[in-house]
Amino acid sequence: MIIALKKSIRAEEQEHLIQWLESQGVRTHISEGEFQTIIGLVGDTTRIDTDLIRGLEFVEGVTRISEPFKKANRKFHPDDTVVTLNGGTAFGGGAFQMIAGPCSVESEAQVETIARAVKASGAGVLRGGAFKPRTSPYDFQGLHEEGIRILSEVKKMTGLPIITEIMDISHLPLFEDVDIIQVGARNMQNFELLKELGRIRKPILLKRGLANNIKELLMSAEYIMAGGNEQVILCERGVRTFETYTRNTLDLSAVAVLHELSHLPVVVDPSHATGAARYVKPMALAAAACGADGLMIEVHNDPQHALCDGPQSLTPEQFDDVAKAVRKVREAVLSDL
Ligand code: PEP
Ligand code: MN
């Protein structure tokens, strides 16, 4: 980090600032120029509050040279992290997975039908929401504990590992048999939730917030990792823009940027990104082509009667078609990835 000081700074102010910075555990390197003095900070600057320094009247500007995320940073961990579930299903480092299933768990028969179909099409993980973050309190909120019980039952029947969303840390004991805990877009910056998830040892799929940038996504991953849980999968699910033809705008460049900045696997969710079943296939193919480590796709056996997100849900037949095409794209571009 570099701090540029105004020419008007008094000697005692400069001395005081340096003492304070060093008390924060960093070393300082001063270069006095003809017009400006620059302080270079050496060491771990993650705890230094740049806004606080920027607010000082004698400071001209503050520039971070290194990113504030450490654990998630590829600089300190050049190899891809491979997140491996208990049964051996892996994400990252060349391992690609399709996560598929309904938006919400509605009944055991529904989840079983969908699970068997998506497994036959090559899905490696079954999704299904039990706690649903709905905009309206009058909409279906999920089956809660019963929803997780159903997922667990279907996991036993099919052998598919399961992923479901957590909305409140007090529900954690219900997630014992869940293989990946999902943090939804609306909770990406629920820092207390992230801290608690850092204390457990279970893979977390962290979805990008509706209006969050890439750095904020990585800082949220850092919250989980700083607690010691390093099994984090990032998920790009589109961000809110001025566009209205799609539910969100899928930011596929985030896949390339995240792979450059971080060693964590990156999954793309074209269902929530587009909000329309007919756009899921082209976006899934594009995600596979740009190097995503997996896809999360909503599949429903009867989309027209789905209790949540029917318009963006694929039928099992459509999912089978997408899965086949994704495999072809991966084969075609694999040598280049
Ligand atoms: C979901 O995956 O069920 C979901 C609610 O997605 P998001 O958090 O991305 O909106
Ligand atoms: Mn959904």
For the CA of 131, the nearest ligand? 1
pLDDT score, position 335: 72
pLDDT digits (tens, 9 = 90+) for 47-75: 889 999 999 999 999 998 888 899 999 99
Name residue 137's amino acid: P
63 three-state secondary structure? strand
User: What's the CA-to-centroid distance between 132 and ligand 1, angstroms?
Assistant: 8
User: What's the CA-to-centroid distance between 277 and ligand 2, angstroms?
Assistant: 12
pLDDT digits (tens, 9 = 90+) for 84-117: 999 999 999 999 999 999 999 999 999 999 999 9
Q: Indicate if ligand 1 lies below 6 Å from the C-beta of 180.
A: no
Nearest by Cα to 173 from 189, 194, 149 = 149
Q: Indicate if ligand 1 lies below 6 Å from the C-beta of 129.
A: yes
Q: Indicate if ligand 1 lies below 6 Å from the C-beta of 272.
A: yes
Nearest by Cα to 312 from 246, 261, 254 = 246
User: In sequence order, what E strands does 93-228 have?
Assistant: 97-101, 125-127, 162-165, 180-183, 204-207
Give φ, ψ of 78 to 5 degrees.
Answer: -60, -30
Q: Indicate if ligand 1 lies below 6 Å from the C-beta of 208.
A: no
User: What's the CA-to-centroid distance between 184 and ligand 1, angstroms?
Assistant: 5
Nearest by Cα to 102 from 246, 310, 291, 329 = 310
User: What's the CA-to-centroid distance between 185 and ligand 1, angstroms?
Assistant: 6
Cα 315 to Cα 102: distance, rounded to the nearest angstrom: 10
Q: Indicate if ligand 1 lies below 6 Å from the C-beta of 207.
A: yes
Nearest CA residue ID for atom 10, ligand 1: 185
Residue 134 is encoded by which pair of tokens?
């709905």
Q: Indicate if ligand 1 lies below 6 Å from the C-beta of 322.
A: no
Look at strands 37-42 and 294-298 and give their pairing: unpaired
Q: Indicate if ligand 1 lies below 6 Å from the C-beta of 235.
A: no
- Considering the chain, what percentage of its residues have pLDDT values greater than 90? 91
Cα 124 to Cα 267: distance, rounded to the nearest angstrom: 13
pTM, entire model: 0.91
Element (H, E) at 145: helix 145-158
User: What's the CA-to-centroid distance between 103 and ligand 2, angstroms?
Assistant: 4
Check residue 41 and report its DSSP letter. E
Question: What is the pLDDT confidence band of residue 157, given thresholds at 50, 70 and 90?
Answer: very high
Name residue 186's amino acid: R
Do residues 41 and 47 make contact, with C-beta atoms less than 8 angstroms apart? Answer: no
Q: Which residues pair with 296 in a beta bridge?
A: 99
Cα 216 to Cα 28: distance, rounded to the nearest angstrom: 27
CB atoms near residue 244 (< 10 Å): 6
